[in-house]
A and B are shown apart, each in its own frame.
Chain A
Amino acid sequence: MSGERVSLTIDGRAVQVPPGTLVLDAARQAGVEIPVFCSHDQLDPVAVCRICLVEVEGSRKLVPACSERVREGMVVRTDTPQVAEARKSVLEFLLINHPLDCPVCDKGGECDLQDLTYQYGPALSRLADAKMRKPKAVDLGPFIVLDEERCILCRRCTRFDHQVAQERTLVVGQRAHEALITTAEGVPYASVFSGNTIELCPVGALTSKFYRFRARPWDLVRVDEICHGCPVGCHIQLHFRANVEGARLERVVSRPFEPIDDGWLCDRGRFNYGFVQSPERIAQPLVRPLGAPRGTLVPTSWEEAFRRVVGRLQEVLATQGPQGVGFIGGGRLTNEEAYLLQRLARQVVGTENVDHRVAGEAAASLDVAPGRITDLDRAAVILVVGAHPGQSAPVVDLRIRRAAARQGALLLTLGPVDPELRVPHQFLPAAPGHLADRLEALAQSLAGGGEGVPPRVAQELHEREGLLVALWDGREAAAGRALAAFLQTWQAQGREARLLVVGDQANSRGAEAAGLRPDLLPGYRLAADPEARRQAGLAPEPAAPGLSTQAMLEHAVAGRLGFLYLVGANLVETFPDRALATAALESEAFVVVQDLFLTETARLADVVLPAAPFTARAGHLTNLEGRVQATGPRSTDPAAGLPVEAWTDGQIFEHLGEALQGRPLVAGAGELATALAAAGLGSGTFAGALPVALLHEASDGSPTPSGSGEGLVAAPLPTIHGGGGTSRFDRAYGERRPLAAVVYLNPEDAQRWGVVPGDRVGLEAGDGVVEAEVQVTRRVMAGVLGVPRGVPGLAWNRLTGAGRVRVRGRLLEEVG
């Protein structure tokens, strides 16, 4: 296979390609352009549009280049009058019923049908009869409007839905000239990947509800970016439209990068951009007036806000020392900003109390069998531990779907709730806090033992040769250790293993590598290592061992931590123990919050500093595989001059550093880049990973089921469309993807607690009652309550912080 080549000529140019290559791709390599509509690199050939017809010597008819494979000695011609006539005829046919409404069509200016008609088509139509009418402005799904008249039935959208997303919701209905793109009755096209069909559409049939009639392509300013929605780090492009008031972000499109995204985006990444220009963004610094209760905030100037922050910080340093100060946040910062934050804490303030883990996760990476996203493409076994890739790393889920559905990979899921994977898989239930037990059994099964492992799974694991890729959500330190041991056992049997850790936030891994952990300096060097400290310009011994997020909150409640600085961290919503987070924020501690929006957490602050959104800053992000990618406007970007009324997080850190120590936090951009490179975060490189020895139970934050068997253990579930500021304060997006306060119960438990699907119930745990609607599903193991995170009105972390949950059935009946 490897060296083998087939020789052919295309328009007289000799070209050599691997056997099995499509004539279309061979032509591309020879520099010969063949027009296409239905053909797409990521989709199987279907040859329905016929625009790519070419002449092949020896063939009596023209053949479609998009489905014809090369043969030795083949002679292809695309420049003959016959081919030109065929293209012209195909375009004339396609245009027979096309409305030709280019002047009002979103696609006008970037439309394949428009472009190819200009290039190859007839100038005039010979059609004398009326055009066929079809449904227009069809509400296809939450984000998409379909114009059936513009559709040329290339089937790219339906093929994407079948072959890539494996969902099979979008189909061609009817027949012949009446054919339509449609779904089953009452079924919206609500895939989390729906937006890809807009970009795939070669005409203006599928349009974005947010972008419709907003701009013309030639008026847009384009800025390359990395998606900040999750740790996958898909490549995107931001399209701004400038006007006299500034520039408005009008849409997000893909910027195909095969090692990560293959050109696909999820709907969160594509459509959740409105928050950038939300009127609800904090416009200026806010302070709590002296003596006013928590929750009272009044606008102030930047000077006054900084004066309050610096003044109080110095007071606390004088009374409690550096141990009385803590910094939390970082998963949304760039690598550079995360580095600056820990430098501010360690070098300027002198505290080791820094942590990026705001959602109870233990780690964002692990230095066992480090994997790449593309490893999934050749996986023989995929093991998903605790993670819900479809929700928290959606574009990675597309690779999982492909590996399982099309390449026959064995797909295993392990955890309290079976993730929603659209492909066949085996669910191995494991109660919260006990994932390690199940993983240990799985490791034993590799050696022939393994109690409780289904025999079929054990046998498959025994027989499968080749690569195993594990995905872990970084929760439960014990699970991480057990998974590491399992992977090592697999490797010891002479088989390849790889691990991907799905971090909680877009840059969790970068924050970890940049040293935003109490036990780690930048570059995964131990905070307790005197040599590493000396090199970082720190005292050989820390004043006191650093505190984790949980410990900082506990110290604040106990009055031992008088100054808490939160950056993009909405702890009330994200920390697994809401009661603790709230108590810490309501304590005597002075709380500074740096955020885009007035979140539940920001409302309780003493000082709120408005941060700029990602569109306004430059730096690097580290994705879940450790890839360090440049992000943000660079000096050459036309949109770099966008109006910025807020400071970037990094600018705030630098200002505070200078105010506190009288000289800059770093000497300049050069020093910052050098420091990051030394930490293994050089641009374009891959970051290091967390040593297994540093997985601590204390930072678990996993539910600790207490009491006897009575009650359920809550298992938090990530929610793609849920979350803190970016989705909640993006009204248009939120309206399209409303989130219901729904919890999930196993049928057995539903029966035990006397509830039926659709019941509104009260969930009692610790200090209060949470109301939610019940759905019953076997995806949840018995004894577990699945609770989505990031759903407004559903305080999931009231249920995870306080032992077992009791269900009070039929709330409405009781109340009514």
Chain B
Amino acid sequence: MMEKQAVSWVVERHEEIEALINRYPERRSAVLPLLHLAQEARGYLATEDVEAVAELVGMTPSEVTGIVSFYSLLHRQPRGRYTLTLCQNLPCVLAGAEALAQHLRQRLGIAPGETTPDGLLTLEETHECLAACDGAPVVQVNLEYATHMTPEKVDRLLEALRAASQEAAAPDGEEDDAGGL
């Protein structure tokens, strides 16, 4: 019953939030766009973000928790700035994804599910198909695909990501980095 301290993105991005909610006939339809917005703001979804989204759309925190845990692109734990998801489904494996996995683990010094100590990269391996078999093997960098990957191209990708993070880091930088490969 206490008045809660507002989460910062709710205040700072108020207009954007209202626009998202107004896009739909029902408030609860805005739950996924709002979750993405919250995750963009913090890098992951903290409990208070889940609660804030629930309140914005008139759902319970439990309902929003159910949605968050359903989608693999929504994260409840802090992540690196970039998440590299390496496809391990059949076409990618036939095109060398297993060797690529070894290479990535070695280069980053972490296992799948872990984040580099500098907080830059999180490594994921998925057995679900990323639906880009024509570009196998595929590495997903945040929301972008890097296709026809080789150990050399992976190294260049890592360099590019590190370089991008050195710069003042424009939010759209990450897409360029990944897309350019």
Contacts and interface: CB of A to CB of B under 8 A. Distances in A.
B1 A777 contact: yes
B62 A170 contact: yes
A744 B2 CA distance: 12
A758 B47 CA distance: 22
A477 B177 CA distance: 77
Nearest to B65: A184
Contact of A173 (B2, B60, B65): B65
B65 A775 contact: no
B64 interface: yes
Contact of A174 (B51, B62, B70): B70
A168 B69 contact: no
Given A173-B69, A182-B66, A185-B50, A775 B1 contact: yes
Interface string A766-797: 00000000011101000000000000000000
Contacts of A777: 1
A162 to B, nearest CB: 9
A757 interface: yes
A132 interface: no
Contacts of B59: 168
Interface string A408-449: 000000000000000000000000000000000000000000
B61 interface: yes
A186 B50 CA distance: 12
Interface of A: 167-175, 182-187, 744, 757-758, 775-777, 779
Contacts, number: 53
Contact of B60 (A168, A186, A758): A168
B66 A171 contact: yes
B26 interface: no
Interface string B93-124: 00000000000000000000000000000000
Interface residues of B, number: 16
A226 to B, nearest CB: 34
A184 B62 contact: yes
Given A185-B50, A775-B1, A174 B69 contact: yes
B63 A168 contact: yes
Contacts of A170: 62
Interface of A is mostly: loop
A169 B1 contact: no
A508 B65 CA distance: 44
B62 A187 contact: yes
Contacts of B51: 184
A695 B65 CA distance: 52
Given A184-B64, A187-B61, A757-B2, 6 more contacts: A167-B60, A168-B62, A169-B60, A171-B62, A173-B69, A185-B65
Nearest to A161: B62
B69 A183 contact: no
B3 to A, nearest CB: 8
13 contacts: A168-B59, A168-B60, A168-B62, A168-B63, A169-B60, A174-B69, A182-B62, A183-B65, A184-B47, A184-B51, A184-B61, A185-B65, A186-B47
B60 A184 contact: yes
A777 B63 CA distance: 24
B2 A185 contact: no
B61 to A, nearest CB: 4
A171 B1 CA distance: 23
Contacts of B61: 184-185, 187
Nearest to A170: B62
Nearest to B54: A184
Contacts of A175: 69-70
B62 A169 contact: yes
Contacts of B62: 168-171, 182-184, 187
Contacts of A776: 1-2
Contacts of A172: 66
Contacts of B1: 744, 757, 775-777, 779
Interface in B53-102: 54, 59-66, 69-70
A399 to B, nearest CB: 22
Nearest to B76: A185
A35 B76 CA distance: 39
B72 to A, nearest CB: 8
